[in-house]
Amino acid sequence: MTAGLRESRLDPARASVDVVLPAGHGWTHELAAGETFRIVDLEGNQAVDTLFFNAHDTAERYSAPDTMRAQGGIYLTTGTVLMSSDGRPLLTIVADTCGRHDTLGGACSAESNQVRYDLKKKSMHNCRDSFLLALAKHGHGMTKRDLPSNINFFMNVPVTARGALTFADGVSAPGRYVEMKAEMDVLVLISNCPQLNNPCNAFNPTPVRLLVWSGS
């Protein structure tokens, strides 16, 4: 396989968690150190907005700048260590059949929808609200102030020569996945993006599959 691409040997039938998350829905789950977490792009080109927190101290959370600095690049793939705001490893990407993932584009919100697309788009579903609803449902006591810049798994956000971000057709395909090993106890927070206004998911939000394997 080409650089960055690596398949997993883990059997989905042996996963301790196996759920399908519809487009537009949020999800939280606590991973124990040593557990492996996989996100599967079931139909292709679906953007999966994702955040990670220290499960015991959520003030320590995923840091895009520290992650990019540590690996010397802006795209995430096999071998990338996802760093925390305290400069510690949260998870390591151990398998990836997509090839690269965005950590610059951020999450859509009611405000960004109306600024980017149209005033009438403000009421549309968005990832920031999905994050907050998922957190509220599971009683973590966190608010919008606790949401840093997130990862967009499977999303294609090219950077131009002048440093601008652009949204382009995805580079994923049905069945491709990314898999991570937890380096500490981690709280996972996902918004399976409902975005209908840019080509990040081919204007067609779709479900994703989420699996967890125990450390043993």
Residue 197 burial by CB count (10 A; 0-12/13-18/19+): exposed, middle or buried?
A: middle
CA distance 75 to 205: 22
Please report, rounded to a whole number, the percentage of residues in the chain having pLDDT higher than 90: 67
> In this structure, are strands 176-182 and 57-61 parallel, antiparallel, or unpaired?
unpaired
Residues 6+ apart with CB under 8 A from 62: 51, 52, 53, 82, 83, 84, 85, 90, 148, 150, 151
CA distance 209 to 179: 12
- The pLDDT tens digits of the residues spanning 123-167 come to 556 778 899 999 998 888 899 899 999 999 998 877 877 777 776
- The answer on pLDDT for 79 being more than 60 is yes
Residue 92 identity (one-letter amino acid): T
- The answer on pLDDT for 23 being more than 50 is yes
CA geometry: angle 30, 210, 129, nearest 5 deg: 70
- The answer on pLDDT for 117 being more than 60 is no
Query: Rounded to whole angstroms, what are the CA distances from 84 to 20, 60, 119, 177, 190?
Result: 27, 6, 35, 23, 17
Query: Per-residue confidence at 216, pLDDT binned at 50, 70, 90?
Result: low
CB 21 within 8 A of CB 153: no
- Mean of pLDDT values over 163-185: 88
Secondary element (H or E) of residue 57: strand 57-61
Query: Per-residue confidence at 116, pLDDT binned at 50, 70, 90?
Result: low
More confident residue, 32 or 126: 32
- Mean of pLDDT values over 192-204: 74
Which pLDDT value is given to residue 121?
A: 54
The length of the chain in residues reads 216
Please report, rounded to a whole number, the percentage of residues in the chain having pLDDT higher than 70: 86
User: Residue 186, CB half-sphere, CA atoms under 13 Å: how many?
Assistant: 28
CA distance 33 to 171: 30
Residue whose token pair is 């042996």: 14
> In this structure, are strands 101-102 and 48-54 parallel, antiparallel, or unpaired?
unpaired
Residues 6+ apart with CB under 8 A from 147: 51, 107, 128, 131, 132
Which pLDDT value is given to residue 1?
A: 42
Residue 112 identity (one-letter amino acid): S
